[in-house]
A and B are shown apart, each in its own frame.
Chain A
Amino acid sequence: MGKIIVSQNAISKIAAIATEKCYGVVGLYPIKLGDRFLYFFGKSTPTRGIETRIDNSKVKINLYVIIQGGIKVSEVAQTIIEQVTYEIKKFTHIKDVDVNVIVKGVKREEYAE
C-alpha cells in the first residue's frame, strides 16, 4: 500500500477555513513578522494565525484568534477546538490532532442601530 502525505500547509489551510467558520471568531492574528507586515498593508495571508507542527502521525496546531467582545470566551474557544479538530479529522483521517487556541485579541462591541 502506498503512503499518503498531507503537507503542513494543507493542514494549516483546513484549520484556517474551519476557524473562520467558527462562531465568535472575528479574525486570525498574524503571528509571523512577514504576515504582520502584509496584514499592515491590507494584504492578508489565509493561514496567518495558524501554527502547525507535524510529528510522525501527530498534528499539533496553535490558533491565534481575535474574538468578538461581549461573548463568553471560554465557550467560543472550546467550540473552536472541537470544530477545528473535527474538520481536520474528517478531511485527513489523521487520528492524533491537538488544537490549542490562543486568544490574541478581543474586538470592541459595536452597538446595533
Chain B
Amino acid sequence: MLLSRGLREKNMLNKLMLADFKKLLAGALSNLEKNKEIVNKLNVFPIPDGDTGTNMYLTLKTAMEEVGKKDQSNLKEFGKAVCTGALVGGRGNSGVILSQMLKGFFESIDDPPFVDTVKFASGLMGASKVAYQAVIKPVEGTMLTVLKAAATKAVLIAQNEQDFIKFLEDIIYEANKILSKTVDMLPELKEAGVIDAGGQGLVFLLEGGLTVLKGEEIAVPVFEEVTEEMDKAAISGDLKFKYDTVVLLNTGNVDPEKIKNDLQGFGDSIVVAASSDLTKVHIHSNEPYRILEYLVSVATIKEARIENMQLEVNEFLKEEKQEDVLPSETKLPFSIICVAQGNGFKKLFRNLGVETIIEGGQTMNPCINDILEAINSTKKENVVLFPNNSNIVLAAGEAKKLSQTKHVEIIPTNNIVEAIPAILAFNSEATFEENIENGKKAIEKIHTVSITYSIRDTKVNGFSIKNGDIIAFFDHEIVGKGKNPGKLLMDILNKKREVVENKEFLGVYYGKDVTKEDAEKTLAMIQEKFPNLEIDLINGEQPFYYYLVSIE
C-alpha cells in the first residue's frame, strides 16, 4: 500500500521546471495553430471580422520566437522573453489581451526555482488581474471571463491538488463550463448563437499545454512541402510525377527508415515522419496504387489521400494567364483601383479600365499595406479606390491617410457589383472631383442582392439559420433563406417587387459554384416575371456568392 503510494507520487508531475514551461507553451501554440480556423469562425464580437484565432496564434508565435532567440537560464528570463515577444507581436484585440495575460502570469510567479500548483494558480490570478486592469468597462462573456473563472477554480483547488495533470484537467473543465455560458452573457453572441471566440482560443491554449504535459503529441497538418513543389512545377507546367499521396500508417515493428528506402523507386519528394503511434508517408508518384500495395504489405493503413497535382497546376497556370489581361487604356485623368475576387470580375474590371486589382473580398481582407502599395504604384496622380466590401472600407480609409504622394478618393462600395455602374458613370471630360461625385451618386441609387451560404448556425433578423443554408441579403440585411440559390433569388426579387419594378436594369453575376445552364435558367425565370427590365447575365466566377445582383 505504502509502496504503491510512493510510486504514484514519484510519477506524479507536481513541479514545473523551465523546460516544462517551454514544452507547455509550445504545446499551447501547436494546439491553437491546429484549431485557429474554428476560433476564427466563432468571432462575432466586438467586430465580426473572423480573425481572433489568427491574431492569438500570431501573438503567441512571436512570443515563442523571442524565446528561441536566446537560451534562458531561469524562469524570470523566460517569462521576460515571452512577454516581450507577445508585446511586440501583439495583433488585434485578442492578441493584446493575450499579451497582458501572459505578462500578468509571469510577473506574478516571478522567479522561483520551480512552479507548483499553488504558484501556478497565483500566476493565473495575476494574469486575470492584469488583464482586467487595462479596460474601464470590462465586457463579460469574453476571454476575460473565461480566464477569471479558470483562475478562481485554480486557487480553490491548488492547496489540495499537487498533480498538475489533474489540476489542469479540473481548470479546463471549469473553463469549458463558463465558455459554454458566454453565449448567454453577451447579446451579440446570443444572436449569432455562438460561444466567445477569444474564450475558446484560451481553452485551446490550456488544452494544448495539458496534452504535451501528459506526454502526448499534437499533430498539426503540414502543407509546406506540397506548396513548394507546386511552385516549382508551375514554371514548367508539366509534372514528372502527377499524384500526391499521403498515407497515415500504423507501422508496428517495421523501421520507418526501411519504408523510406523501399519507396525510393516509386517517385520523389518522399517524407516519412514517425511519431509515437502513427507514421506519415508523403510521396509524389505516377502509380499511387503500387505505393498502397507496398504499404499494405508492410503495415496497417489508417488513412490515405491521393491528389492529382497536374490538375491543380493546370488550374494555376490558367489563372496566371488570365491575370495577364492588360487593362484597357482609358482617357480618364486618374487611375482606378479595385479590390476584387473571382476571375470573371477581374476580367470585367480590366476591360473597364481598372489599372490595379487587389486580390481580396469576403474572408480575405487585404491589409492596409497591400492597398498602400497599390496606390503608390499607379501611373497617375489622382486615384479612385473601390474597396468593394464593408470590411475593407476602413482599411482603405487608413491607406488613404498614409499615402503621401497621391491624391486618393474612396468611393465606399460595400459590394463588388456597385463598382461597375460607378465606373461607367465616369466621364473623361469632367474633372476628378466631378467624377467622384458622379461615382458616389451612381452607387446611391443601386440596390444589391447577394445569395450566399451560412458557415454556422445563427439567428439574425428573426431568421434561424443552419450551417450550410443558402441565404439572401438585400443591400445588407438578411431577407431570406432557402435551399436553391436560383429560386431564392427569384423569391427575393418578388418580395422586393416595388423596388425592382421602378428600376431599369438588372446585372446578374453568377459565381463559380453555379453552372452556366443553371444561371441561364434563373435568367429565364427573371425575364418572365419582369418583362420590362433589361437584364445582363455575366459570369463573375466569384467564390462564396452564388449570385450577386445589382438593381440599377
**Is A86 part of the binding interface, using a Cβ–Cβ cutoff of 8 Å?**
yes
A contact residues, total (Cβ < 8 Å): 27
Q: How far is the CA of A96 from the CA of B414 in the complex (A)?
A: 12
Instruction: Assess the B137–A20 pair: CB atoms within 8 A.
Output: yes
**Is B447 part of the binding interface, using a Cβ–Cβ cutoff of 8 Å?**
no
| B interface, CB within 8 angstroms of A | 46-47, 49, 87-88, 90-93, 95-97, 99-100, 103-104, 107-108, 125-126, 129-130, 133-137, 139, 394, 397-398, 412
**Is A47 part of the binding interface, using a Cβ–Cβ cutoff of 8 Å?**
no
Shortest beta-carbon distance from B478 to chain A in Å: 15
The stretch from A1-9, A35-43, A65-73 touching chain B is A65-73
Contact residue among A23, A85, A96, A112 (Cβ-Cβ distance under 8 Å from B96): A23
Q: Given A25-B136, A26-B135, does the pair A75, B96 have CB atoms closer than 8 Å?
A: yes
Instruction: Assess the A70–B90 pair: CB atoms within 8 A.
Output: no
Shortest beta-carbon distance from B125 to chain A in Å: 8
Q: 10 closest Cβ contacts across the A-B interface?
A: A68-B134, A112-B126, A72-B90, A20-B136, A79-B93, A20-B137, A112-B108, A86-B47, A83-B46, A23-B135
Instruction: Assess the A112–B107 pair: CB atoms within 8 A.
Output: yes
Shortest beta-carbon distance from A104 to chain B in Å: 15
| A interface, CB within 8 angstroms of B | 20-27, 68, 70-72, 75-76, 79, 81-83, 85-86, 95-96, 98, 110-113
Q: Given A71-B96, A75-B92, does the pair A113, B108 have CB atoms closer than 8 Å?
A: yes
Mostly, the B contact residues are helix
Give the A-B pair count, Cβ closer than 8 A. 78
Contact residue among B99, B125, B139 (Cβ-Cβ distance under 8 Å from A72): B99
Closest to B97 in A: A23
Mostly, the A contact residues are mixed
Which of chain A's residues have a CB closer than 8 A to the CB of B398? Answer: 81
Closest to A86 in B: B47
Instruction: Assess the B135–A24 pair: CB atoms within 8 A.
Output: yes
Shortest beta-carbon distance from B163 to chain A in Å: 26
Q: Given A72-B90, A113-B126, does the pair A26, B108 have CB atoms closer than 8 Å?
A: no
Instruction: Assess the A21–B88 pair: CB atoms within 8 A.
Output: no
Closest to B122 in A: A113
Q: Given A20-B136, A21-B135, A86-B47, does the pair A70, B87 have CB atoms closer than 8 Å?
A: yes
Which of chain A's residues have a CB closer than 8 A to the CB of B126? Answer: 112-113
Q: How far is the CA of A56 from the CA of B107 in the complex (A)?
A: 51
Q: How far is the CA of A24 from the CA of B93 in the complex (A)?
A: 9
Q: How far is the CA of A96 from the CA of B139 in the complex (A)?
A: 27
Instruction: Assess the A71–B99 pair: CB atoms within 8 A.
Output: yes
Contact residue among A72, A81, A111 (Cβ-Cβ distance under 8 Å from B88): A72
Q: How far is the CA of A59 from the CA of B88 in the complex (A)?
A: 33
Instruction: Assess the B130–A71 pair: CB atoms within 8 A.
Output: no
Shortest beta-carbon distance from A88 to chain B in Å: 12
Instruction: Assess the B95–A82 pair: CB atoms within 8 A.
Output: no
Q: How far is the CA of A68 from the CA of B90 in the complex (A)?
A: 14
Identify 12 residue pairs between A and B in the complex whose beta-carbon atoms are under 8 Å apart, listed by A's number.
Answer: A21-B139, A22-B46, A24-B134, A26-B136, A71-B87, A71-B96, A79-B93, A81-B394, A112-B107, A112-B125, A113-B108, A113-B126
Shortest beta-carbon distance from A94 to chain B in Å: 12
Shortest beta-carbon distance from B332 to chain A in Å: 24
Closest to A22 in B: B135
Contact residue among A81, A95, A110 (Cβ-Cβ distance under 8 Å from B412): A95
Instruction: Assess the B90–A75 pair: CB atoms within 8 A.
Output: yes
Q: How far is the CA of A82 from the CA of B47 in the complex (A)?
A: 8
Closest to B127 in A: A112
Instruction: Assess the B107–A111 pair: CB atoms within 8 A.
Output: yes
Which of chain A's residues have a CB closer than 8 A to the CB of B100? Answer: 68, 70-71
Instruction: Assess the B394–A112 pair: CB atoms within 8 A.
Output: no
Q: How far is the CA of A113 from the CA of B110 in the complex (A)?
A: 10
Which of chain A's residues have a CB closer than 8 A to the CB of B88? Answer: 72
Q: How far is the CA of A75 from the CA of B139 in the complex (A)?
A: 19
Contact residue among A23, A26, A79, A112 (Cβ-Cβ distance under 8 Å from B104): A112
Q: How far is the CA of A83 from the CA of B94 in the complex (A)?
A: 13
Instruction: Assess the B135–A25 pair: CB atoms within 8 A.
Output: yes
Shortest beta-carbon distance from A8 to chain B in Å: 21
Shortest beta-carbon distance from B436 to chain A in Å: 13
Shortest beta-carbon distance from B60 to chain A in Å: 14
Instruction: Assess the A23–B137 pair: CB atoms within 8 A.
Output: no
Which of chain A's residues have a CB closer than 8 A to the CB of B136? Answer: 20-21, 25-27
Which of chain B's residues have a CB closer than 8 A to the CB of A79? Answer: 92-93, 96
Closest to B397 in A: A98
- Point out which of A21, A72, A83 has the most chain B C-beta atoms below 10 A from its C-beta: A72
Closest to A17 in B: B137
Which of chain B's residues have a CB closer than 8 A to the CB of A95? Answer: 412
Q: How far is the CA of A70 from the CA of B240 in the complex (A)?
A: 54
Q: How far is the CA of A72 from the CA of B136 in the complex (A)?
A: 17
